Structure 1
Amino acid sequence: MTTERREPATDADERTMLDGWLDYHRSTLARKCEGLTDEQLRTASVPPSELSLMGLVRHMAEVERNWFRRVLADEDAGPLYYSEEDPDGEFHLTGADNWPEAYATWQAEIDAARRHAAGFALDDLSRGRSRHTGEAFSLRWIVTHMIEEYARHNGHADLLRERIDGATGD
């Protein structure tokens, strides 16, 4: 199965454009993971790094959860993979971790993000606040940040995928 991916229309309004680019980058990460085995998806880049495609997907599930559930909607949504003792837990895979769970969790967080975002205009401020500064964020800021976050990690995914099976391209 090939993940469908579309660039937003060049004449779209701002909301459609931002949502479109976020979905484009979500789809890009999914495409980088397609056709690989569970073992390949957990293959780390190079020692000592533990960065893997499955770890990136788990990380993005946490990022979606944080920005759209905790910050935007002020929902009490605890961490999925990390803890106080292991703040980078999404990247620390164990034998019990598997691709179907990681992918399903990521997709569930994307679905929750879309539901929450649908209730806000781009200029609306989040109900939750930054845990660092106490500031609220506009939906525009959150979506723009998410596009940046995915774009950066899709660059990592490009390198990981090439290392695993030589596949390149977007």
Structure 2
Amino acid sequence: MPGLIGPVSDEREGLLDYLAQQRYVLCLAAYGLTDEQARATPTAAPLSVGGIIRHVAATERGWLDTVLGRSPRPGPEPGTAPDVTLHEIIREYECVATRTEEIVSLIDDLGRPVPVPRDVPWFPDDVEAWSVRWVLLHLIEETARHAGHADLVRESLDGATAFPLMAAAEGWPETPWLRPWRPPGPGQSR
């Protein structure tokens, strides 16, 4: 997937494409990491790249359960369980993404009301319902915010940043202004 999404033909496609792009850049923070690195918490916050991805996947799953009128299943905390591999985390996130796209494709009207759950203290008391459109915009926002957190954690691990990681993942050629990320050589930490 390139650095920007292509033209969109309608609102639904645009919302889903922007959400997919944010998922992609979130997962780019994990590109080239070992399972141990994906569990590392090199910043003052107790966040790991793998834990952030797990948390965002659980959040997206919960929101789509809400859209469907189901009680959201509790998801993992942002930490990464030592027995879960990065591959498993990414695969689970891909399954969540596929489910979201399937559900949204079956909804006729993105303005359809989604009742505001009453058991979450930070949700407004004076709003009865959001819309499916609002939920998708909120997921884009949340995914983008967490992608930023994952970028900071990744940069703290080995100095890698988003566009060099994207260039490496997509096989872009080196240019005078952008060098694709490469894993550190033996004895190098960055």
Relative to the length of structure 2, the TM-score reads 0.73
Matched, 1:163 2:156: yes
In structure 2, the partner of 1:84 is none
Could you tell me how far apart the structure 2 residues matched to 1:25 and 1:93 are?
A: 21
Post-superposition offset of 1:124: 1.4
SS of residue matched to 1:137 = strand
Q: Which residue of 1 aligns with 2:100?
A: 113
* CA offsets 1:51-73 (integer angstroms, 9 cap, x no match): 0100111111111111112x101
1:97 is aligned, of 84, 98, 105, to 84
CA distance in 2, matches of 1:161, 1:52: 8
Structure 1 unpaired stretches of 5+: 82-89
Cα RMSD between the aligned structures?
2.0
Describe the shift of the 1:169–1:61 C-alpha distance in structure 2 as closer, same or farther (beyond 3 A): closer
Aligned residue number for residue 40 of structure 1: 37
Check conservation: 2:19, 2:140, Cα contact below 8 A: yes
Answering whether residue 50 of structure 2 is matched by residue 54 of structure 1, we say yes
SS where residue 97 of structure 1 aligns? coil
Give the letter aligned to residue 97 of structure 2: I
Distance in 2, Cα, partners of 1:44 & 1:105: 21
Larger Rg: 2
Aligned residue runs from structure 1 range 71-150, under 5 A: 71-81=66-76, 90-120=77-107, 121-126=109-114, 129-131=116-118, 132=120, 133=125, 135-150=128-143
Give yes or no for contact 1:9–1:17 (8 Å, CA) kept in 2: no
Percent identity of equivalent pairs: 33
**Residues in 2 aligned to 1:115 and 1:98: alpha-carbon distance in whole angstroms:** 26
Tell me the SS of whatever aligns to 1:167: coil
Matching residue within 1, 17, 26 for 1:20: 17
Q: Number of paired residues?
A: 156
Unaligned runs of 5+ in 2: 164-190
Name the aligned partner's letter for residue 23 of structure 1. A
- Give how far 1:5 is off: 4.0
1:122 alignment partner AA: L
Give the alignment's TM-score, normalised by structure 1: 0.81
SS class of match (2:90): helix
Q: Alpha-carbon deviations, 1:48-107, whole Å to 9, x = none?
A: x210100111111111111112x10123452232xxxxxxxx223332232222222222
Question: What is the letter of the counterpart of residue 129 of structure 2?
Answer: A
**For 1:36 and 1:7, how far apart are their aligned partners in 2?**
24
